[in-house]
Structure 1
Amino acid sequence: MVVSMSKLVVAAAIVDELSNPQVLLCAQRSYPAELAGRWELPGGKVEPGEDPAAALHRELAEELGVRVDLGQVVPARIAQLDEATRQAWRELYAQGGRYQDQVDGDFSANRPQDAQEARDWPLVGELRMRVWPAQLIPAGTPELVPGEGHQELRWVPWDQVFDLDWLPADLPIIAAIRDTLRPDLAD
């Protein structure tokens, strides 16, 4: 299954410093009503024909007025998803035997197409998210003004990140980001 770029959402786990991250930039949604007040990573949708990394740079410039350096994509880790989401992935990816052995663990990419898919996290319906760690140019933790899509932007220390009311689909992604950037804090 190749994810159409129009169904791909990109996000950045913006930290103070990629080499030794102490805080994560968290964004509180302002809409729609059922998601307002929940926390997410900044980012947005990829337009048809747009490169995903370029889309992320565009979204961050539009939403936050910032430029970033991107790290390596944080790949999907199926084992970190709740059982209902894993079951949905089993149904989605087990077609034709693909991913049957990997659905309960990390993806192992055997073909270029599989490698592309393994980078994308499931969201709602057919939406998928690709996430990069990032740091601002220049690096730091300036006070940022939220755009129309967010009520608040907050730099949060890693030991307090899970105290926020995250969108449910973002929780395993946040855990994977923490484990990747701060293995000393991994569960």
Structure 2
Amino acid sequence: MVYSLRIVLTHEHADAVLGLDDIRVVQPHSPTNDIDPTAIYLTQYVMDSRLYKIEGYFPSKLSIAKRICSGFMMSIAMLDDVYFKLREGQEVRRVAQLDWRIIEDDYDKPFVASGLKFVPLPVMHGEDYICLDFLFGEKSKVAYISDVSRFPSNTEYVISKSGSGQLDLLILDCLYKKGSHNVHLCLPQVCSKFFQKLGCPEKKT
């Protein structure tokens, strides 16, 4: 069975969204953008965020916007100049075609993408920000945990043995080998606290 490309966003920070226009390199080539869009799953908060104005930067219909810069890194301040309405006589430019699909930031409201069920896992990315990570897989359970500093008790329960059962694979954000950080877990906190809560014995080195 062949599945088309699907993308699930964790949050709207630059490291999560600023590569979206490059998706066009794996989409069918069409100089006029006459192709089926790629599904992007994200929360309403991420869609509405004014910080990056995602929908404005990556419009799903080229008839209202065009790309004038590509192939190099642009500062956040320049992004408002990347897309603008086409004027009469302007050429159509190729950009990624995206289909925005809103999901809930609630582990009781899973969604399905390409036949795979995803369970949303809200985590704290600093005490003032919620990042959305995911649990997926039926026969083998995988938890993808990006940009986390603390686990709310409900999320911690969902990925524990007593919640969804033993994880087969945990992909976990870990910023530094030593010390600590205010918006990310670091290796000492992961080894001394989190693995034990998941039912994994701490490995002595």
Whether TM exceeds 0.5 here: the answer is no
The TM-score normalised by the length of structure 2 is 0.22
Instruction: Give 1 or 2: higher helix fraction.
Output: 1
Task: Decide which structure has the larger Cα Rg and report it.
Answer: 2
The TM-score normalised by the length of structure 1 is 0.24
